[in-house]
Chain A
């Protein structure tokens, strides 16, 4: 089971309330799908500058693997309060610790609610429907 202290999107981001902010990252499923378990297959992560406005469901950045570029989508609407720039040069962190050190941005949200997102059980069930 994935961490129950946060919520999940259908595009495999996680969102966690932390003080006034929502911390955002991508799930282990997303990392596995992008890298096929090969850490070196992740090549680049493009994150926004602090201060930029983001909108729920819209792109805030891109993550790139050897063969593909994928959008990173904001789970909530608000303003980017902080960016984990360190991961841009250390993408292996996403494989090792997607739930902690692999956080990507912190958003100061317009409304401090994650109720529109899936909890861990719902995300688990959602992944089952995606299995082929």
Chain B
């Protein structure tokens, strides 16, 4: 869905930092963002071997408060918000009545509030949807996207780098998809979560706009001896694909439902959750799946790209959702939608690039993950 705006892209509070690092800046989701500081594949390898620092300030941040917050979120989220333990995080989606996603998001369940992190390109649509469905619930919806910046440190050395800068929160004891609050570079009560979009150990930090540059610089300095580098969105996309994580506009969008994309873990049909928007449509899809998302790899020269065909036993029946060169697998990888009936063990798979065929094979998802495998 495109909003009819011609406004200039927004700049994150770290814009000048990226420019000083000679980043290539591109428009992404309504923001100027660093796509790369150096060769993209080198940046991927850095995160896989040491650690990388990312500016994620373009992502949407929304705080939901009020006594009906849980019931309200259980009405618009696919996951079971009431069941999320306090201080834990769950993956969820907002879907329309037809079961098709508006966006995917992370839900941080606090004692008194629920914090949501949504995609940059969908933030406006998400907020409109949330406000539209708030009628009858005692909730307040606060858009914190401009007030709070967001950075992520990802990679095996992240804990070593970050812990000396954090007081009052023991990072090594923070479980995967858990969050806490600590003093970060002297700034009290900062939200820190053990989450990420890379398949690596790592943390995401939410820092007030005015202070994020100082935190970024302090983390970069602390990480210098541990191989930390600034990493752009180009590498982030390859890292998330290797980790088998979906990207809105690729694995899910207005035409690709979460169940076909293999995201059943983010969808709850538990009777106690009650009725929610999109439930019956998704139940129908669950009862009779038409499509499934599979991993493919190919040793041929062409990299799978969104929209390329997938031929099974010679006939084009599916389509690539995402693709990349994979430095970890040392081959070209992608995700693809194919009919649910395809027998992965006995199918001959080819990429179809405008009629030209290239040999490929199926591969289990995720391609690589230190957090999920």
* Chain A residues close to B by CB (< 8 Å): 36, 38, 40-41, 43-44, 46, 64, 66-67, 69, 88
Contacts and interface: CB of A to CB of B under 8 A. Distances in A.
B302 A66 contact: no
Contacts of A66: 39-41, 234, 303, 324-325
Contact of B39 (A40, A46, A69, A88): A40
A69 B320 CA distance: 15
Q: Which 6 A-B pairs have the closest CB atoms?
A: A38-B39, A66-B40, A44-B301, A67-B234, A36-B24, A40-B39
Contact of A41 (B39, B301, B302): B39
What DSSP secondary structure best describes chain B's contact surface? Answer: mixed
What DSSP secondary structure best describes chain A's contact surface? Answer: mixed
Contacts of A38: 38-40
Contacts of A43: 301, 303, 325
A69 B305 contact: yes
Contacts of B234: 66-67
Contacts of A67: 35, 40, 234, 237
A46 B35 CA distance: 25
Contacts of B158: none
7 contacts: A36-B39, A41-B40, A64-B303, A66-B39, A66-B303, A67-B237, A69-B305
Q: Taking each of A36, A38, A40, A43, which has the highest tally of chain B beta carbons within 10 Å of its own beta carbon?
A: A36
B303 A36 contact: no
A74 to B, nearest CB: 17
A88 B301 CA distance: 10
Contacts of A46: 302
A44 B36 contact: no
B343 to A, nearest CB: 31
A95 B327 CA distance: 22
B41 A64 contact: no
Given A66-B234, A67-B234, A44 B303 contact: yes
Contacts of B303: 43-44, 64, 66
A44 B234 CA distance: 18
A43 B40 CA distance: 12
Interface in B206-247: 234, 237
Nearest to B301: A44
A36 B39 CA distance: 8
Nearest to A39: B39
Contacts of A41: 39-41
A88 B234 CA distance: 24
Nearest to B354: A62
B192 to A, nearest CB: 30
B18 to A, nearest CB: 14
Interface in B95-118: none
A36 B24 CA distance: 8
Given A36-B24, A66-B234, A44 B302 contact: yes
Nearest to A45: B301
Nearest to A65: B40
A36 B41 CA distance: 13
A30 to B, nearest CB: 15
B39 A64 contact: no
Contacts of B36: 36
A12 to B, nearest CB: 17
Interface string B282-320: 000000000000000000011101000000000000000
A38 B43 CA distance: 12
A22 B41 CA distance: 36
